[in-house]
Structure 1
Amino acid sequence: MATPEEQDDARPDGAEPAPAVPLREPATATPAPAHGDGDDASQRPWLIALALVVLGGLVLRLWGIRWGLPFGYNLDERSHFVPRAVEYFRSGSLDPDYQLNPSGITQWMAAAMWLRHWSSDTIVQEWATDPGRIWTVARVSSALLSTAAIALLYAAGTRLADRRVGLLAAALLATAFLPVHYGHLALNDAPSLAFTALGLFAIAGIVRFGRRRDYALAGVALGLAVGFKYNAAFVLLPLGTAVLLHALGWRVRPAGTAAPASGATGRGDRVAGLLQLDPGPAQWCAAISGTVLAAVLAVVAFFVCDPYAFLRPGLFVDDVRHLSDYTKGGLLLGETQQSGYRYYAWSLMWGFGVVPVLLAVAGGVRLVVRDRWVGLLLVPAPVLFLLYVGSQGRYFARYGMPVYPMLALLAAIGAMALVGWLVRGRDSRVLRRLVTGAVVVVALGQGVVWSVHNDVVLSREDTRSMARDWMVEHVPARATIVVEPMMPKEWYADGARLPDPLSREGYRWNRLVRTGADKRELIRRYPDLKGKINRTADFANNGFTLFPGLLDFYREKGACWVVSGSMQSGRVFNNPKRVPEAVKYYRALERQSELVYQAQPFDGRRAKHYFQYDLAFNFGPLRYERPGPAIRVYRLRDCTPRLSDPARRG
């Protein structure tokens, strides 16, 4: 029989032996410390390692955080959160008049702006005169909250498994490309992961201890998570599983701890990874009362994040229904993938990483085979969530990001299982540490490379800003120009100041927009194209409105400069059969114009019309040299420029 010292050597670093105590303990008894918990001296190396991981994750999220400023080029960032946070101070009302997304992140950013300026008037004035500073505060607040997810995931992994799993899961979340990229932006995708990780920590507490405070924390975490992003509600699945395990009297035995002593009473370790206490009415009562507490606190936390979901229920229901209809809609112009399931499987390969995905699969298999009840906490939720979003009509990689914390835990479990298999039968701590280090490096390698490269790219000038700089020098002020919908309205204004939204006073150029009279005249000339002419030429639908005859219309209006970009032309050339008239338009534009300026995010002919609904916006592939789409400025031949009246500029 092995000595106690030999048993300690065989355990993972920092493990505590499981005490040989009777399993028929009162429902309120406190179990042994979690695997890896110990005195301050034993925790210090792990906390130092965690601090380095968190610091590295923060650096990756702050590096390049001023990308594109003072122009907010990300459409969702510009449309949903920051302007509404500023409007709190402009209007003096906390009603966002908007429920397509919950208001938690908007309130978080507004609080950051207030802490930075301590004055509503200053915030409104700075938004009007130097919006880049407001954008920076909002983005930094997002980066800080998304970084908090790293530490919280370490705590969840340590509580549910051990420190090695917790630390590697934290490192995976810190370096995975998609969470890092969205950690740069004033959006709710990355910040919401903090509350998902907090929820996993609380869920681990429920299955380990069954305490009321763990139920309370789970409820708060759930309410906050949904208050930041609706689809974070998938955490209900592992939470429900944890409640059921508690009600049935099961407690999760931390991975790596020894089975109960043979003399222990009770049902013992009949299911791998679990200890069963004495089940009975007390367990059910504790689980039911805990569930009620969690539900009440979840509602309260959600109310704090989004009070107007309760105060204006009609708007809430209408906007959520509109959001559901959008995600269930048909394929957008430019989408080439027709299977959401393949799309999300593909996006995980670069958003999370090839090796981490394989390790997550291995970790899931290991839990199903050896710790199947523990596997119920971590495996079904991400699988069912990805199946659900994959069944929608429209899909984007970030829609799958809520499950990344759980995937990181599964990958870390798979990695540690791989280490154990590789060193099986070799009693050498040095070898174990070398193998562990090699597995960690391989697991993190892709994420580190993509994230660092992305940060370098984001630190460089966006192609749209480069084009604007050129136009300031070469296109007369007050000239009428045609610009495809891919620029924020501030792009047209001098000094990035926000002009009056009604008069557009302060715009440097007059962007040609078809009026009702223009549309009627075009329909008279091209009656067969009435549907195209009447369609709104917005960001998503511009390609449907294009046809060659527009070039003569531009000449008549004196709009001699046409600014085109791959965000629009790429959609057309991805789906040429859907918009044949738009293909003819771009070919006619090439023939009838002189290309006077172009800027590309990477070299090669492919860049000219490159478009993909994620990678044309996230700049992850290593071919990118700078952010933004390919931009081309054309000067129409046989066109006389028309300058707008200074009093009516725009």
Structure 2
Amino acid sequence: MNTMIEKSDPAAPTKSRKTRPWLTALLLLYILAAGAFLRFNGRDWDEDQHLHPDERFLTMVSSSIAPVERLGEYFDTENSPLNPANRGYTFFVYGTLPLFLTRYAGEWTGMTGYGDIHLVGRALSASVDFLIILLVFLTAKRLYDRRVGMLAAAFYAVLVLPIQQSHFYTVDTFTSFFMMLAFYFAVQIAVGNPPGNDEQQTADDSRRSTPPISLYLLFGLALGMAVASKINAVPIAVILPLATGLYWLKLSPDEQDAQWPRLFGYLALAALVSFLAFRLFQPYAFEGPGFFGIKPNAAWVDSIKAQRAQAGGDVDFPPALQWARRPVTFSWQNLTIWGMGLPLGILAWAGFALMAWQIFKNNWRRHILLWGWTGAYFAWQSLQWNPTMRYQLPIYPLLAIIAAWGVFWLYGRGRGVFGLMCGDHIRLELGQQRAQQGGGAQHVG
């Protein structure tokens, strides 16, 4: 039968490699503490100078909007005080979920003015990126084992670009968090039983139960929230049918026939939940005035089109001129050297190459979702007219997992080669000793 575990992989979990739970918890707490320190320390780094242009704009908008007094007002696009367009910011192409979270957190803390609401946004930005560290551990543990999860979390905790972005009140860390959350739920669906649970994974496929519907609903919620943070998060939607397909391939033919209608229904429900989440958290993408007024807002659509034209080099937009002569390797170079730091960058791409080799060797089931999505998203952003380094932020957690897997794969392979060499040496020594003893006995005789 097909399984998600290939024992030929040196990085595959075995019982002898299990980490003690208390040690895992202790190490994870240490990693989380280090990650929190790096993200929350120096929150007022610019000393109220508002040096980041995108952050400055979001600060202006956040300090201008106001909470609604009733629910109906929230969906009233033309009159809502939460709509940036009603406060003079008619060209607003960011997601509104981070904006709303920051404004309401500012109301709760009494920090809603231009001079302090950006600090609220920075704290939230650091918080969601801190949670990504935990998601990295859980995702890698689910795909591989605790060792890989721990090392991947440690790698992500010290990555340069995520730490930098955690100190900015922008939408990028929010988007990365919700995309990673969606990816985690997709992994849960694709993997099924936890890695290393051989008794369950070798059971008769006909007894496999359909993945819980809750995973599909949670994926839809995370997807909708990601898109409500940044419209470029839409492609993460393809992960869910791919994960479902990986699960479906593990079934017996009879179970494939029996389960596909239910799985298709789950996918449809996830799509519905994602739309409802987007409707709730990006309300002014629609005309309103009520919840069911779901006709697209023409002004919002025009703003998105204008922004795409500016970022794509289709119009004479001064900030975009700098990208005219950038090589196709620009994004890769900046990610590897500056975004991750050269040591981790090398480890990540070495792991990516090793994973591709494993897939080529037909050990693809455990790796294809992680490897395929990382490669596809990286290629998509690298080929954009505007290959800004932060646009690759959603794959940094995945590259941390790939790097950690690669380390343990190399460690397992190296240990196997070392053990084989030692075994050959010992056998050679024993053979020589026996030959000498045999020769000595013959001589005495």
Aligned to 2:100: 107
Q: Given the alignment of the two structures, is residue 87 of structure 1 paired with residue 64 of structure 2, yes or no?
A: yes
Q: CA separation in 1, counterparts of 2:319 and 2:267?
A: 41
Q: CA separation in 2, counterparts of 1:333 and 1:369?
A: 38
Which structure 2 residues correspond to residues 152-191 of structure 1 after superposition, within 5 A?
152-191=135-174
Q: Which amino acid aligns with 2:335?
A: L
Structure 1, unaligned runs of 5 or more:
1-9, 18-34, 118-122, 251-275, 428-650
Q: Which amino acid aligns with 2:367?
A: G
Aligned to 1:528: none
Aligned to 1:138: 121
Distance 1:90 1:221, change over 3 A: closer
Q: Which amino acid aligns with 1:319?
A: S
Question: Offset at 1:337?
Answer: 7.0
Q: CA separation in 2, counterparts of 1:193 and 1:234?
A: 13
Q: Given the alignment of the two structures, is residue 304 of structure 1 paired with residue 280 of structure 2, yes or no?
A: yes
Aligned to 1:506: none
Aligned length: 363
Aligned to 1:342: 329
Q: Given the alignment of the two structures, is residue 72 of structure 1 paired with residue 50 of structure 2, yes or no?
A: yes
Q: Specify which of 293, 300, 308 is matched with residue 316 of structure 1.
A: 300
Aligned to 2:213: 212
Question: Offset at 1:315?
Answer: 2.2
Q: Specify which of 356, 363, 370 is matched with residue 368 of structure 1.
A: 356
Q: Which amino acid aligns with 2:228?
A: G
Kept in 1: contact 2:11–2:408 (CA 8 A): no
Distance 1:15 1:111, change over 3 A: farther
Aligned to 1:149: 132
Q: What is the alpha-carbon root mean square deviation over aligned residues?
A: 2.9
Aligned to 2:182: 199
Aligned to 1:407: 399
Distance 1:374 1:99, change over 3 A: farther
- TM-score for both structures, normalised by structure 2: 0.74
Q: CA separation in 2, counterparts of 1:145 and 1:305?
A: 17
Aligned to 1:423: 415
Q: CA separation in 2, counterparts of 1:379 and 1:145?
A: 24
Q: Which amino acid aligns with 1:115?
A: W
Which structure 2 residues correspond to residues 260-339 of structure 1 after superposition, within 5 A?
279-311=255-287, 313-329=297-313, 332=319, 335=322, 338-339=325-326
Q: Specify which of 42, 47, 58 is matched with residue 25 of structure 2.
A: 47
Q: 1:280 is paired with a residue of what secondary structure?
A: helix
Kept in 1: contact 2:12–2:144 (CA 8 A): no
Higher relative contact order (CA 8 A, sep 6+): 2
Distance 1:280 1:13, change over 3 A: closer
Aligned to 2:229: 228
Kept in 2: contact 1:215–1:291 (CA 8 A): yes
Distance 1:172 1:340, change over 3 A: farther
Question: Offset at 1:341?
Answer: 2.1
Q: CA separation in 2, counterparts of 1:317 and 1:176?
A: 35
Q: Which amino acid aligns with 2:306?
A: H
1:474-517 Cα offsets, whole Å, 9 max, x none, are xxxxxxxxxxxxxxxxxxxxxxxxxxxxxxxxxxxxxxxxxxxx
Kept in 1: contact 2:131–2:177 (CA 8 A): yes
% same residue = 26
Q: CA separation in 2, counterparts of 1:392 and 1:108?
A: 30
Kept in 1: contact 2:95–2:230 (CA 8 A): yes
| Structure with larger Rg | 1
Kept in 2: contact 1:327–1:395 (CA 8 A): no
Q: Which amino acid aligns with 2:131?
A: A
Q: CA separation in 2, counterparts of 1:316 and 1:235?
A: 22
- TM-score for both structures, normalised by structure 1: 0.52
Structure 2, unaligned runs of 5 or more:
1-8, 69-79, 86-90, 193-210, 288-295, 420-445
Q: 2:228 is paired with a residue of what secondary structure?
A: helix
Q: CA separation in 1, counterparts of 2:23 and 2:253?
A: 34
Kept in 2: contact 1:241–1:376 (CA 8 A): no
Q: Which amino acid aligns with 2:381?
A: V
Q: Specify which of 385, 389, 393 is matched with residue 377 of structure 2.
A: 385
Kept in 2: contact 1:170–1:408 (CA 8 A): yes
Question: Offset at 1:379?
Answer: 1.9
Kept in 1: contact 2:161–2:390 (CA 8 A): yes
